[in-house]
Structure 1
């Protein structure tokens, strides 16, 4: 699958977050989850629309019409570089981004708790 939507990059960010190398303050990242959910919802709606028009017709009865119907149908859905594939790649990328942000927030909270515990242990 082509990586036009940045899935590879978000997978690397998620890997960094899972390794504890990335932390985000929940106050800074608080709305990112909702933004990702809204974007995924919009992409899902577009994907549903594309799947409705996956069979394009009306080019006539000439042999070239059949070729055009196939060509344009594959641009909508079923082809390697179809709109359907691109939308699914974007959905995957946003899901990875959402996971990376969630893990980075978790890392921040864990570090904050550990720092607080350390400070509490050193003060009388």
Structure 2
């Protein structure tokens, strides 16, 4: 599921394309730490998403119609509503997936460039006597 306006998600995709084309460079250690942080935060949000059902069945608002309506409104805030917690968590997880892919591409690109440079040096290495 895309972000409501799609802007954050598409921005990370654009940046990932820039790395694949060699137009953007990010320090290896920074990219690795950010990738790992994205993964950890995504795991926390996925755990929270698994708990949404627990808060989506609101009770205790009374038997009057206004209480019933209010309980339904609060339940929809957790799950199933237009701007529910569930939709928000899914949107954030989607963005984190793209961020993690971006930083993983930085790490992958680093190793690809290192291998390419090592290959070049090996071809130009002068043997010692």
Q: Unaligned regions of 5+ residues in structure 2, if any? A: none
Identify the residue that residue 21 of structure 1 maps to in structure 2.
Answer: 23
Task: Report how far residue 123 of structure 1 moved.
Answer: 4.7
Shift in CA distance, 48/5, structure 1 to aligned 2, threshold 3 Å: farther
CA–CA distance in structure 1, aligned partners of residues 24 and 10 of structure 2: 17
Q: Which has the higher contact order (CA 8 A, sep 6+)?
A: 1
Q: TM-score by structure 2 length?
A: 0.78
CA–CA distance in structure 1, aligned partners of residues 85 and 5 of structure 2: 14
- Misfit runs of 4+, over 6 Å: none
Identify the residue that residue 51 of structure 2 maps to in structure 1.
Answer: 49
Task: Report how far residue 12 of structure 1 moved.
Answer: 2.2
Of residues 75, 99, 102, the one that matches 1:100 is: 102
Q: Unaligned regions of 5+ residues in structure 1, if any? A: none
Task: Report how far residue 39 of structure 1 moved.
Answer: 0.7
Tell me which structure has the larger Cα radius of gyration: 2
Identify the residue that residue 114 of structure 1 maps to in structure 2.
Answer: 116
Q: TM-score by structure 1 length?
A: 0.81
Give the RMSD, CA atoms, in angstroms. Answer: 2.3
